[in-house]
Amino acid sequence: MGDVIEQCKECVALLGDYLDGSLPHERADALERHLSRCMPCITFVRTYKKTSVLAREALAAQMPQELVSSLQQFLSGAIPGFRCEGKKGECGGSAHKPDPKKS
């Protein structure tokens, strides 16, 4: 079985490590192969790479709230360590734990 990534979801999961440079060479290779032929992923990576956190926030502010929520939920599930940086409850997702200080 070759090291091939067929699923965009898997691709997104590896992206954080890939951009960090911490992804093993084989996986990075497989990821690049996927990225070379999957237009949605190419677009996603381009945007992801060149967008600063601030720009992402500005972009997010222009996005419909529904889309932001589902995107953040998807990312927090797909990318280890990804955290929603929106205000608490804004994304409506599982990224936010209830504040333990509140009773």
Which residues contact Zn ion (rule: CB under 5 A)?
Answer: 8, 11, 38, 41
Q: Minimum distance from CB of 86 to Zn ion (Å)?
A: 26
Nearer to Zn ion, 38 or 96 (CB): 38
Closest separation in Å from C-beta 41 to Zn ion: 3
Task: Please report how close the Cβ of residue 37 comes to Zn ion at its closest, in angstroms.
Answer: 8
Say how far apart CA 26 and CA 3 lie, in whole Å. 7
Strands (E), 10-74: none
Tell me the C-alpha to C-alpha distance, in Å, between residue 23 and each of 9, 18, 35, 42, 100: 16, 5, 15, 18, 35
Residue 47's SS3 state is: helix
Cβ-based nearer residue to Zn ion, 8 or 78: 8
For residues 34 and 84, which CB has a smaller minimum distance to Zn ion in the complex? 34
